[in-house]
């Protein structure tokens, strides 16, 4: 299956781990300190845009989850992703803000985790 978006962590492709509709990006402007002129108007400038990426994972076998989990433990991560606002692939230093997951199944032969959502924020 071909995915219309890029999702790599430290140059390892995890886009196949994502659900079909589990991909969202945000761009947040970072402003300079404001200055108020004599007319009472505040003046600021946009210094840059800080990106956020939220992905939802498909249910994963325990071994796939272990591979991804070990990649997430590196602290500051180089994330390559398709920014929907920019309509371009971006490579950014990001931190993992949150991981939400639950076990779906565990028996003698396999362990399956699902409903996992990861949120990354650009530094």
Residue 22: which residues within 8 A CB-CB, separation 6 or more?
Answer: 55, 56, 57, 58, 117
Q: What is the pLDDT of residues 47-106, one digit of tens each?
A: 999 999 999 988 887 778 788 888 888 889 999 999 999 999 999 999 998 777 766 666
Q: Cβ(103)–Cβ(112) under 8 Å? A: yes
Give 33's DSSP letter. P
Domains of the chain, start order: 7-122 (2.40.30)
Residue 62: which residues within 8 A CB-CB, separation 6 or more?
Answer: 110, 111, 112, 113
Going by pLDDT thresholds of 50, 70 and 90, the confidence category of residue 14 is very high
Region 36-53: mean pLDDT is 91
Percent of the chain with pLDDT over 70: 86
pLDDT at residue 26 in the model: 94
Q: Does position 113 have pLDDT exceeding 70, yes or no?
A: no
pLDDT at residue 74 in the model: 80
Residues, the chain, total? 123
Going by pLDDT thresholds of 50, 70 and 90, the confidence category of residue 116 is confident
**What number of CA atoms fall less than 13 Å from residue 118's CA on the CB side?**
24
pLDDT at residue 83 in the model: 92
Region 107-122: mean pLDDT is 77
pLDDT at residue 1 in the model: 46
What's the count of helices (H) and strands (E) in the chain, helices before strands?
1, 10
Residue given tokens 């993992």 in the structure block? 96
């Amino acid at each position: 299956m071909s995915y219309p978006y890029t999702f790599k962590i430290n140059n390892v492709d995890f886009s196949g781990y994502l659900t079909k509709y589990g991909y969202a990006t945000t761009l947040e402007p970072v402003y300079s300190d404001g200055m108020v002129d004599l007319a009472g108007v505040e003046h600021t400038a946009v210094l840059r845009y800080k990106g956020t990426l939220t992905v939802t994972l498909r249910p994963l076998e325990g071994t796939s989850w272990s591979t991804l989990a070990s990649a997430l433990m590196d602290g500051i991560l180089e994330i390559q992703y398709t920014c929907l606002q920019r309509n371009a692939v971006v490579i950014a230093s990001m931190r993992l803000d949150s991981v939400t997951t639950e076990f779906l199944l565990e028996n003698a032969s396999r362990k399956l985790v699902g409903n996992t959502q990861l949120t990354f924020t650009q530094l």
